[in-house]
Chain A
Amino acid sequence: MGTTVRKIKGYVIRDWMMSYLFLLPAFGFFLLFVAYPMIKGVYISFFDYSLRDFSFIGLDNYISLFKDDNFIKSMGNTLLLVVITVPIVIIFSLFVSMNIYKKKKFARSFFRGVFYLPAVSSVVSITVVWGWIYHPNYGILNYLTGLFGMEPVSWLGDTRTALLAIIVVLITTSVGQPIILYVASIGNIPTSYIEAAEIDRATPWQIFRKILWPMLMPTNLYIIVITTINTFQCFALIQLLTSGGPVYSTSTVMYGVYEQAFMLGHFGYASAMGVILAIVIGIISIIQFKYFGSDVEY
Chain B
Amino acid sequence: MNSTNPLELKSPIIQSKKVSAWKKELTIPKIIATILLILATLFFIFPFYWVVSGAFKLQTVATTIPPEWFPLKPTLQNWTELFKNPVERWMFNSFIIAFAEMAAICIVSSCAGYVLAKKSFPGRGIIFTMFVAAMALPKQVILVPLFTMLADFGWVNTYKGLILPAIGWPFGVFLMKQFAQTIPGELIEAAKIDGSSEIRLFGTIILPLLKPAVGALAIFTFITSWNDYFSQLIMTRSTSMMTLPLGVATLRGEFTTNYGLLMAGAALASIPMIAIFLMFQKAFTQGITMGAVKG
- Interface positions of A (Cβ within 8 A of B): 15-16, 18-20, 22-23, 25-27, 29-38, 40-41, 43-44, 49, 92, 95-96, 99-100, 109, 111-118, 120-126, 128-133, 137-138, 140, 143, 172, 177, 180-181, 184-185, 188, 198-199, 201, 204, 218-219, 222, 225, 229, 232-233, 235-236, 239-240, 254, 257-258, 261-262, 267, 270-271, 274, 277-278, 281-282, 285
Q: Are A285 and B136 in contact (CB under 8 A)?
A: yes
Assembled-state Cα–Cα distance A118/B50 (Å): 13
| Secondary structure type dominating chain A contacts | helix
Assembled-state Cα–Cα distance A124/B29 (Å): 38
Q: Are A219 and B293 in contact (CB under 8 A)?
A: yes
State how many angstroms separate the Cβ of A65 from the closest Cβ of chain B: 14
Q: Are B62 and A138 in contact (CB under 8 A)?
A: yes
- Interface positions of B (Cβ within 8 A of A): 15, 18-19, 22-23, 26, 29, 33-34, 36-37, 40-41, 43-45, 47-48, 50-51, 54, 62-67, 107-109, 111-112, 114-116, 119, 121-122, 124, 127, 130-131, 134, 136-149, 164-170, 172-173, 198, 202, 223, 226-227, 229-230, 233-234, 244-246, 248-249, 252, 257, 259, 262-263, 265-267, 269-270, 273-274, 277-278, 281, 285, 288-289, 292-295
Q: List 6 A-B contacts (CB under 8 A).
A: A26-B173, A30-B170, A117-B48, A120-B273, A138-B63, A258-B234
* A25-B108 contact, Cβ under 8 Å, with A124-B269, A257-B143: yes
Assembled-state Cα–Cα distance A87/B265 (Å): 33
Q: Which residues on the B side are within 8 Å of A32 (C-beta)? A: 168
* A199-B15 contact, Cβ under 8 Å, with A20-B121, A137-B63: yes
Closest to A138 in B: B63
In the A-B complex, the 10 residue pairs with the smallest Cβ-Cβ separation, listed nearest first, are A33-B168, A26-B112, A125-B266, A41-B145, A121-B270, A124-B245, A29-B168, A122-B269, A40-B145, A37-B145
Q: Which residues on the A side are within 8 Å of B202 (C-beta)? A: 22
| Secondary structure type dominating chain B contacts | helix
Q: Which residues on the B side are within 8 Å of A20 (C-beta)? A: 121
Assembled-state Cα–Cα distance A108/B33 (Å): 15
Assembled-state Cα–Cα distance A32/B248 (Å): 31
Within 8 Å by CB of A36, from B48, B131, B149, B227, lies B149
Assembled-state Cα–Cα distance A53/B49 (Å): 50
Assembled-state Cα–Cα distance A26/B243 (Å): 26
Q: Are B289 and A232 in contact (CB under 8 A)?
A: no
Q: Are A26 and B47 in contact (CB under 8 A)?
A: no
Q: Are B47 and A118 in contact (CB under 8 A)?
A: yes
Q: Are A23 and B145 in contact (CB under 8 A)?
A: no
State how many angstroms separate the Cβ of A122 from the closest Cβ of chain B: 4
Q: Are A120 and B289 in contact (CB under 8 A)?
A: no
* A204-B29 contact, Cβ under 8 Å, with A95-B36, A128-B262, A199-B15: yes
Closest to B247 in A: A124
Q: Which residues on the A side are within 8 Å of B29 (C-beta)? A: 204
Q: Are B47 and A126 in contact (CB under 8 A)?
A: yes
Q: Are A25 and B112 in contact (CB under 8 A)?
A: yes
Assembled-state Cα–Cα distance A282/B172 (Å): 22
State how many angstroms separate the Cβ of A244 from the closest Cβ of chain B: 14
Assembled-state Cα–Cα distance A184/B121 (Å): 35
* A143-B67 contact, Cβ under 8 Å, with A117-B44, A121-B274: yes
* A100-B37 contact, Cβ under 8 Å, with A121-B273, A180-B288: yes
Q: Which residues on the A side are within 8 Å of B164 (C-beta)? A: 29, 33
